[in-house]
Amino acid sequence: QKEVEQDPGPLSVPEGAIVSLNCTYSNSAFQYFMWYRQYSRKGPELLMYTYSSGNKEDGRFTAQVDKSSKYISLFIRDSQPSDSATYLCAVHNAGNMLTFGGGTRLMVKP
């Protein structure tokens, strides 16, 4: 079983839609959870990180962690075509390294 699993998509939504991106992880010891955004032919850039359970909001983006079900989510409100990218979740593992999910490709259509 992979440490972090993510649906590869692609996920296609109309502009203005609320987007929900999700990951599951296997190790309940993980404490830090991150979302990276990667545009085509670019390196990933950090969007948000959260510690333990709960929600964190930054503009149109909300990261949510449910440690009881080992489920992490990223919500994008009022999605824009510029949000079209691959979104990678990552967990900070016991080895003090990051383990990435495979990424979900999002397409927001005007």
Partner 1 sequence: EADIYQTPRYLVIGTGKKITLECSQTMGHDKMYWYQQDPGMELHLIHYSYGVNSTEKGDLSSESTVSRIRTEHFPLTLESARPSHTSQYLCASSTRTSATDTQYFGPGTRLTVL
49, 61, 73, 107: which one contacts partner 1 (CB under 8 A)? Answer: 49
CB nearer to partner 1: pick between 6 and 64? 6
Q: Is the dihedral of CA 42, 47, 50, 53 positive or negative?
A: negative
Q: Is 25 in the site for partner 1 (CB under 8 A)?
A: no
- Pick from 12, 15, 18, 51 the residue near partner 1 by CB under 8 A: 51
105 binds partner 1 (CB under 8 A): yes
| DSSP code, position 82 | G
Torsion of CA 4, 8, 9, 10, to 10 degrees: 130
Q: What's the full length of the chain, in residues?
A: 110
Write out the two tokens for 47: 């969007």
Interface residue with partner 1 among 34, 63, 85, 106 (CB under 8 A) is 34
CB of 56 closer than 8 Å to CB of 106: no
Q: Could you list the residues that contact partner 1 (CB under 8 A)?
A: 8, 32, 34, 36, 41-46, 49, 51, 86, 88, 92, 96-98, 100-103, 105
